[in-house]
Chain A
Amino acid sequence: MDGLSVETIAGWGRHPVCRAAVLRPERLRLPRAGRVLPRGLGRSYGDAAVPASAQSLVLETVRADRILAFEPSTGTLTCEAGLSLAEILRVFVPRGWFPPVSPGTKFVTVGGCIASDVHGKNHHRDGSFGGFVGRLVLETADGRLVECGPDRERELFLATVGGMGLTGLITEATVRLRPIETPWMFVEVEPAAHLAEMLDGLRHAGKDWPYTVGWIDCLATGSGLGRGIIMRGRHVSRGEAPGARPRETSVRGLPFDGPQWLLSPLLMRAFNAVYYRIQSRRTGGRFVPYDAFFYPLDTVKDWNRLYGRSGFLQYQCVVPRAAGGPVLSELLERVSRAGATSFLAVIKDCGPESDAYLSFPLEGTTLAMDLPYRGPTTEALVHELDGTVVRAGGRIYLAKDAVTRRDDFERMVPRLPQWQRVRDRWDPEHRFGSALSARLLGDEP
């Protein structure tokens, strides 16, 4: 018996918010009729996993999390869509397997990783999550279970990877895990004094290191614009591992919403400067548990509450390499001038784009920063940033977005018409919808 409960639904950024009925079944099956929004662990920041209205049923997949098969000779895992990366890590790291691609949190479902075609610190080398999906099963709008993959119902597969849950309900998937020898990472940290050094550093590190990422103090201006820390890491082999198994990291909760003064530019500036100083001194290599390298924010359970009740937006865009430095400078300057940002920004160089129509990454540089949500002024800033990104031939990441305008989005995604054709073929009435699809695709709310 699976009852419905009416709950308040928001993305990780806590804006926007919608009340709707939620179903959290152990066995995924679409209701016969009505509008549906598939949702995993709700870690997308904006409105991708928020229903457009109370008319839509939210189908949470988190309880459909069974492992259906694992082939130890190849690391091929078949699972239900609600299985989380956290659980994959818990079960498979001791056996020497690791998710092929991991976003900044492990509290995401496999279904969500596919729907957002997530990328990680290894994008420059390995591409995004969809590239490791050999097969998935989708319950389409008419209730059929359709198996698709790179060689089977390819169009539907390419529309579903990165398709934000709008082509159907992903019920299971087959994913290739990556072999590892130990749960340890070897990490090197290097400061970069300004943006050009950061970009050079990332490109350079990318040649030899499987995982690279940069943290930028996005409140630094002038000659220090884009200064930050470059982190590069790799899995550690058995021979060099520091003996014992890493201790399990304890998770602490944030028991209250952050007060407004915490986000004052002055305090942010101080925090970022201190972080930069501390990290700059930690140069050289060290061994850290994989959790500390991949998921530092996961140790604070509800860190999104730091931004208070009104929530925040995370602005993440990617710009082609050719456009590069000047565009990134412009973005950082705009944000800095608006005094809108907070804490740290993440910068990362991306490898070639995937064939999936709506997949986010493209060859170039991606920049992500948190913007405390302050209503129309924050939205206006996003539109400005979007303008810059459009002109540069870049695009925004749908898993983060909450306010981009439809016309800007259409200019960012040249493959949108192809995607829409596939969606219309499999879901002509647009049963699958979200606040995001209402905003960016003109779906009825």
Chain B
Amino acid sequence: MKAVLVGATRGMGRALARLLAGRGDALALLGRDPNELLTSSRDLAARGASGPVVTGHLDLAEPEGFAAALDAAERALGSFDALIVTGGDFAPQETLERDSARLARLLEVNFTGTVVLCQQTAERLARRGGGTICAFSSVAGDRARRSNYLYGASKAGLSVFLDGLGLAYADRGVRVLAVRPGFVKTSMTAGLRVPPFAGEPESVARVVLRALDAGAPVVYVPPIWRWVMLVIRLLPRAVMRRARF
């Protein structure tokens, strides 16, 4: 596989990129911090990625730069057949409630930027006969909770988009995988109270890779979250109002 990754320097993205490198895939890393990208590209090259791991600038908050970033990745890899977006923004609910600018940025990155990037890429892939788009949404987008509905709203929008994208482009050979992580122990969630069923990035990455290879449209990670969320989605609103989580 030739994959373009956004957010592969950290957390689940890093773990997934390592699995791809380990099986000899060709990788391009896009992101904001050139030093971090370079360091991660060396790591992935040493772990077996095929050819040099290329890097390029992409900020999910700046959609006007997407086309150029994708062009550059395409040139470096000699076209690509997958886009994997693990990058995203997160802040605690209290921060987002107080700080409108912070909230606007989170919505911009998690929803607007990610949607525009995936839409553009789907069109590119469809024109050349197909490919795969994988983006990380969240279980927070499955049901509103008082403790994280702002972050959850950005992910709910993304989930609906990914679902639709998969439907719309299936005939043109583009497969879409929406990953919905529950709580995963990464630097993004550091400092938060660790709930039951929390996952590690490495085991999550293995599940995602299997889903990617199998062509699944949606995958919950760790897998138990599929059932946890099924129950939570079924809870009556009155219960959600009283629930503290």
Contact = CB atoms under 8 A, between A and B. Distances in A.
A27 B192 contact: no
B90 interface: yes
A69 B42 contact: yes
Contacts of B48: 91
Contacts of A203: none
Nearest to A64: B39
Q: Which of A2, A23, A63 has the most CB of B within 10 A?
A: A63
Contact of A68 (B22, B39, B190, B191): B39
Given A1-B90, A26-B14, A66 B42 contact: yes
Nearest to A23: B190
Nearest to B42: A68
A2 B187 contact: yes
Contacts of B187: 1-3, 24-26, 63
A255 to B, nearest CB: 15
B67 interface: no
Nearest to B202: A87
B46 A1 contact: no
Interface string A55-74: 00000000100111110000
A250 interface: no
Q: Which of B11, B36, B187 has the most CB of A within 10 A?
A: B187
Nearest to B191: A3
A91 B19 CA distance: 11
Chain B interface residue bracket vs A: 20 to 34
A21 B39 CA distance: 28
Tell me the dominant secondary structure on chain B's binding face.
loop
Nearest to B41: A66
A267 interface: no
Contact of A26 (B9, B46, B91, B192): B9
B43 interface: yes
Interface residues of A, number: 17
A68 B91 CA distance: 30
A1 B10 contact: no
A4 interface: yes
Contacts of B36: 27
B47 interface: yes
A370 B91 CA distance: 45
A23 B187 CA distance: 9
Interface string B1-45: 000000001110010000000100000000000001001101100
A26 B186 CA distance: 9
B188 interface: yes
A27 B187 CA distance: 10
B190 A5 contact: yes
Nearest to A94: B48
A25 B14 CA distance: 13
Contact of A67 (B11, B42, B191, B192): B42
B39 A66 contact: yes
Contacts of A63: 187
Nearest to B91: A1
A66 B43 contact: yes
Interface string A28-49: 0000000000000000000000
A1 B188 contact: yes
Contacts of B42: 66-69
B43 A4 contact: no
Contacts of B194: 5
Contact of A4 (B10, B14, B22, B191): B191
Nearest to A68: B42
A68 B191 CA distance: 28
Contacts of A3: 187, 189-192
List the 3 closest pairs (A to B, CB-CB), nearest first: A3-B191, A66-B43, A3-B190
Interface of B: 9-11, 14, 22, 36, 39-40, 42-43, 46-48, 90-91, 187-192, 194
23 contacts: A1-B90, A1-B187, A1-B190, A2-B190, A2-B191, A3-B190, A4-B190, A5-B190, A5-B191, A5-B192, A24-B190, A25-B187, A26-B9, A27-B36, A66-B39, A66-B40, A66-B42, A67-B47, A68-B46, A69-B46, A70-B46, A91-B46, A91-B48
